[in-house]
Structure formats: structure tokens, C-alpha cells
Amino acid sequence: MSATAAGPPPRPPRAEPSWDRDGSGLGRVLADKLAGVARGDREAFAGLYDATAPKLFGIVLRIVRDRQIAEDVVQDAYLKIWENASRYSPEAGHPLSWMISISRNRAIDIVRRRGEVQMPVTDDGPEWEATIAEPRDREAEFIDADRLSHCLEGLEATQRRCFVDAYLEGFSREELAERYERPVNTIKTWLHRSANTLRTCLGER
Amino acid sequence: MTTGSPPHPREADAIEFVLGTLSTAERSEFERILEGDAALRQVVSFWEDQLSPLTARVPSVRPPERLRGALMAALPSAGAGLFRTERSGGDAGSAEIIMLRRSRAAWRSATAVAGLLAASLAGIIVLDSLQGIRPSSRLVAVVNRSGELPALIVRVDPRAGTVQVRALAAETPAGHSLELWSIVGSGAPRSLGILAAGAARVPVPAADRRRLDGATLAVTVEPQGGSPTGGPTGAVVYSGKLVPEPR
């Protein structure tokens, strides 16, 4: 066990303009910690956890809607981060994006499987919602959110909501179809069309 | 990705993979393709990075403190052997966590033998009691293989007297069974039962019940129906131990 357990309480990550740019930014801090983790530095790993766990836990909880499973998923994600830190490539994006992707992947795997194999949903029920702290977590925003937001505005409003719901809530096509009262194929078309529009927009500098 | 580059032929799948809307089967197939397609990996990275700012809309939630302790304790220590586990900080912590340690080498050898894949295993082992475990809180372990899904989630609920083993992605080689063992100290492994499809109630040897606290748990690949000898005969694919959470 690390000797750092008595450190300050975890803080949510801070915003970072363009993470690879110079500055006081979170991106650089996380990238440095990841480099430490890649060398097997447990202190760096603890620091990485403290800086990012509330963020990742929030994201995962939103998708799996069960605190116990969310804990499982987050623990699992951090173990993968520990193992794969050396494979993080700064060119591929913000270190937090990389960590978010690992966590979301796990969460999505679980909810897809739960939906298909009838995994029993345990205890917590809707209680997870009550645990949510602040309505909005401005500190965790990336500067690039502006660009994404701008591009999202190019989408038709309903299709935009559908796209964002898919990403944040982890809904399946079928769940989206039910929610938006459209056939599954329409949902697919929406998502693909939205992606095309976004891709064009995001590619423009 | 640059402006004007033509979309990858699997662009549509890539976006649905990142969004998470593919079915389990489609996800598996996509991940298989992804392994051999560097250009597709770039497409996925692009979308993962570009869409991640959406998470700014999700409020942070502080995870329970015990998660941090469990995680730090779960980190593999240098030179950790198959059954080597440490008891860290053994004071009277309120929560205990089972740490099941993956054995990578053993898993590889098992998968070399393995046909695929009985995904929806689920076993429930119901104990009359779990003496020796403080009835304070639930114990949980996630057992995963490198770079893949969590394979097993093990829950021990002392109040309900249950041990639940939920297999999410455990692969049982064709014609074989996965068997769960407890090992106390340097004693011989005792079978806790087969991780079978469906919910199985498996009685735990009375002599073992009070000693589960601190026992090493292991899962091995055995012939169909379980070990013929009463002891493990196949590769250990997971192992781990009940430890109190460090404070």
C-alpha cells in the first residue's frame, strides 16, 4: 500500500486549454504522471488517481447506473491504465481523453452485456442519481469543448440530442429507438449522419 | 485525421463503437478487426479524443475512499508470484476486499488450449454463514484479463451469507469446466464448486467456512464436471485473496 493515502482529498481535474501547449495545465501534469506510471511509479499512479477518479467515476456511474458496478468498472479501468500507461501516445490526444476512453469502454461493455444476457441489476436502483454533486463541473471542461460545441450546433436538434445521449448515457440503438420513437434503422442513420457532419466540421481548423 | 481525407470504409462502425451503440457481438467483431487495422485505430482515437469533451457535461462524483485503497493494493508488486499476496495494513479496517490476482502466464497457457467461449457463466455459491469475516460490509473483486473485459466479479455479502461469482467474460475451454478453490495457508486447495452456467448453489465444506477470511481463491480449468482428483489439475486462470482494506 502506498504511503500517500493520507493526502488531500481528490480534486476534479482542472481545465486545460490545449493540453500539449505550454501552461499550467492538467494535460501536462497527467501526461507526466502517466509517464511515471509507465515506469511502475506507484506514487505517480496514486496522484493520477486522485486527479481523475471523481471524473471517471462520474462518467461511469452515468452509464452503468449502479454504484457497486461503477466501482468495479473504475477499479478495473485504473488497473488497465496501470498496465497500459506505456502505450499512451500524446499524439493520440489528451491523456484524460485516453483514460476516459478506457473507462467508457469498460462501462459500455458491461451495460451492453447486461442488456443482452439479462444480468441482474443489483440493489442501488435510482439511488445513483442522488449522489451526483454539482450540476455542472466546469473545471473539467477541455478548451476543445468549444470547438465540439460549435460543430454540434451544426446538427439537427433531435439528432444532436440522440448522438449525445448515446455517448453520455451509454444507450443502445434499441434504447435510443424507444426513447426517440423512431425505428432502429433511423437511429443508425442519424448517428452516422451526425458523425459525418461532425467529422467535416472538426477537421476544419 | 486531416480535412478532406476520405472516410475509412469502417468509419460508421468506428463511430458506433466509440459511441457505444454496437451490440456485444458487433463490439467483439469490431475489436477483432481493430487489432489488425492501424488506420482504423487512428479513426477510433480521433473520435475518442474529439468526443471526450462531452464528458464535461457529466458531474464528477467522488468514489468511496475504499476504492483507492483497494486499487493500490491490487497493483501487482514486482515479482509477484501466482499465489503471492500481501496482507497490507492488517488493522481492523471496516471493509474487506477480495483481491483476485490474475495470473497472466497461466491464463495464456489456458487460452492456448481453449476453444472459445461460454460467455454467460454465472455461479452463485450460497454459504450458511461466513464466520470469521467481519459482517460490516460487502466484499467485491473484479477479475480481469489483460486488455480485455473484466472476467469475473466476485461479491461476498456477509450479512446475506452469500458469495456470488458473476462471470462476465470468462472463457471456458470447450469440454472443460472452471472450478473455484480456496487455499488456506499452505494447505491443500479445497473445491468451492464449479462456475457453471446458470445459478448454482454449491455447499462450501464446513471446515472451510470459518477460514475464508484470508484464504486464497483460485480458479482453474478442469475437465468437464470438475477435477477428477479432488485437487486442482489444470491451469490456474485467476487467483487472489481476501484482504482487509488498508486504511
Cell numbers standing for residue A31: 501526461
The residue-averaged pLDDT of B130-139 equals 42
Which chain A residues are within 8 Å of B57, Cβ to Cβ? Answer: 136, 164, 168
Are the C-beta atoms of residues B182 and B208 closer than 8 Å to each other?
Answer: yes
The residue-averaged pLDDT of B129-136 equals 40
Contact A2 B45 (CB under 8 A): no
Ranges A142-156, B41-55, B81-95: which has the least confidence: B81-95
d(CA B157, CA B122): 17
User: B197 φ, ψ to 5°?
Assistant: -65, 145
Contact B247 A5 (CB under 8 A): yes
Beta bridge partners of B142: B153
Instruction: Write out the E strands in B170-245.
Output: 176-183, 190-194, 216-223, 236-244
Is residue A69 pLDDT above 80, yes or no? Answer: yes
pLDDT of residue B125: 35
Is residue B195 pLDDT above 80, yes or no? Answer: no
Cell numbers standing for residue B236: 490456474
Beta bridge partners of B217: B182, B240
Which chain A residues are within 8 Å of B5, Cβ to Cβ? Answer: 203
Is residue A75 pLDDT above 60, yes or no? Answer: yes
d(CA A161, CA B93): 45
d(CA B117, CA B107): 14
DSSP states along B114-136: PPP----BEEEEE-S--TTS-TT
Residue B133 CB coordination number (10 Å): 21
Task: Name the DSSP letter for residue A138.
Answer: G
d(CA A123, CA A143): 38
pLDDT in tens, A52-61: 999 999 999 9
- Minimum-distance CB partner of B48 among A45, A97, A148: A97
- Minimum-distance CB partner of B45 among A78, A93, A167: A93
Ranges A3-17, A118-132, B203-217: which has the least confidence: A118-132
pLDDT in tens, B50-82: 999 899 888 889 999 989 988 988 887 643 333
Predicted TM-score of the model (pTM): 0.58
Exposure letters B173-194 (e unless 16+ CB within 10 A, then b)? beebbbbbbbbbeeeebbbbbb
pLDDT category at B246 given cuts 50, 70, 90 is very low
Question: Does the CB of B61 have a partner CB in chain A at under 8 Å?
Answer: yes
